[in-house]
């Protein structure tokens, strides 16, 4: 297949690109590199089935030739990024989604939207099922991401219903693994980058808020299985086992052998207190459950972060 992946230089997008190329498909990676990195796809240089187009999908998109899939993964995804880039975030999930839907329609391609568990906001229902409408503050600081993703789902459904476009929607819950940026600002990347340098681990609130963490290869497997179905309603892909933020902090301290102390900071506005997916739909329709245990996934991620730190330190010495 010939597949366009927007946001293909990002954390999740680049792992999806890897998987599609491994399967023998032709992949066009489109990214404006605002939060994505060339290093995430540099290993595909010279591959005649890989193309990179530097482009902002909030603007009109042109891709020559036929496409079998348009997969829209472009968007800042970590709170520091979308709080720093609020207008760009709103645009990529509204105008960008509109543009990619239009491209899919014009090419006769199938369409895949990467949505998020953030559409549930600070949920009042646990675990979150796909028919829960959420508890979102539209004018809070996180609204630029939460509401734009909700709009993205709405316009995707409109194209499905009005134009009979073949669409898929995945709601991605917390994901981690190699290629997370060290300054990403999310729980796992924060704790690991702080722990391996013996810096204080910053826990927001009292640390009792929960998250459920899935390893990136499990997420990509769920995405691939979704592509093989014709189910057009949203599907949660995440780990159904929750951990408190404080538990994650102590686990990462243990796995890194860090001497870091844990420091408490105020909880950010509208930060979800619990985040836990019901994955019954994924189990039934995709025969999917996460396979990578948290300790194993964190160990692999820590090794990658340590390699990045060594490269950074080596680069600093060479400049000095």
Q: Which residues are catalytic?
A: 145
For tokens 């709170």, name the residue. Answer: 79
How many angstroms separate the Cα of 39 from the Cα of each of 14, 136, 257? 10, 35, 28
How many C-alpha atoms does 111 have within 13 Å on its Cβ side?
31
From CA 60, how far away is CA 74, in angstroms rounded? 14
Query: In the structure encoding, which two tokens stand for residue 109, read together?
Result: 């391609």
From CA 152, how far away is CA 133, in angstroms rounded? 14
For tokens 């299985």, name the residue. Answer: 225
From CA 145, how far away is CA 133, in angstroms rounded? 16
From CA 11, how far away is CA 18, in angstroms rounded? 11
CB atoms within 10 A of CB 268: 13
From CA 248, how far away is CA 211, in angstroms rounded? 9
How many C-alpha atoms does 283 have within 13 Å on its Cβ side?
10
């Amino acid at each position: 297949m010939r597949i366009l992946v927007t946001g293909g230089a990002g954390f999740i997008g680049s792992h999806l690109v890897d998987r599609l190329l491994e399967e023998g498909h032709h992949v066009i990676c489109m990214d404006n590199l605002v939060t994505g990195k060339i290093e995430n796809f540099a290993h595909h240089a010279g591959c005649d089935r890989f193309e990179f187009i530097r482009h902002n999908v909030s603007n009109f998109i042109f891709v020559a030739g036929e496409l079998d899939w348009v997969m829209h993964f472009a968007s800042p995804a970590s709170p520091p990024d979308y709080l720093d880039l609020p207008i760009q975030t709103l645009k990529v999930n509204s105008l960008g989604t509109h543009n990619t839907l239009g491209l899919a329609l014009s090419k006769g391609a199938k369409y895949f939207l990467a949505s998020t568990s953030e559409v549930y906001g600070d949920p009042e229902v646990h675990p979150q099922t796909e028919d829960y409408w959420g508890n979102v503050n539209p004018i809070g600081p996180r609204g630029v991401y939460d509401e734009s993703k909700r709009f993205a789902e709405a316009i995707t459904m409109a194209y499905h219903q009005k134009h009979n476009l073949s669409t898929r929607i995945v709601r991605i819950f917390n994901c981690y693994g190699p290629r997370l940026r060290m300054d990403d600002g999310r729980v796992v990347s924060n704790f690991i980058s702080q722990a391996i340098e013996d810096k204080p681990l910053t826990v927001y609130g009292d640390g009792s808020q929960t998250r459920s963490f899935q390893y990136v290869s499990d997420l990509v497997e769920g995405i691939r299985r979704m592509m093989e179905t014709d189910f057009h309603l949203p599907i949660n892909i995440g780990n159904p086992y929750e951990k408190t933020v404080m538990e994650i902090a102590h686990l990462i301290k243990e796995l890194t052998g860090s001497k870091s102390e844990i420091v408490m900071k105020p909880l950010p506005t509208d930060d979800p207190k619990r985040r836990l997916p019901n994955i019954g739909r994924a189990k039934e329709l995709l025969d999917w459950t996460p396979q990578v245990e948290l300790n194993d996934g964190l160990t692999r991620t820590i090794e990658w972060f340590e390699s990045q730190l060594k490269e950074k330190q080596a680069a600093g010495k060479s400049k000095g």
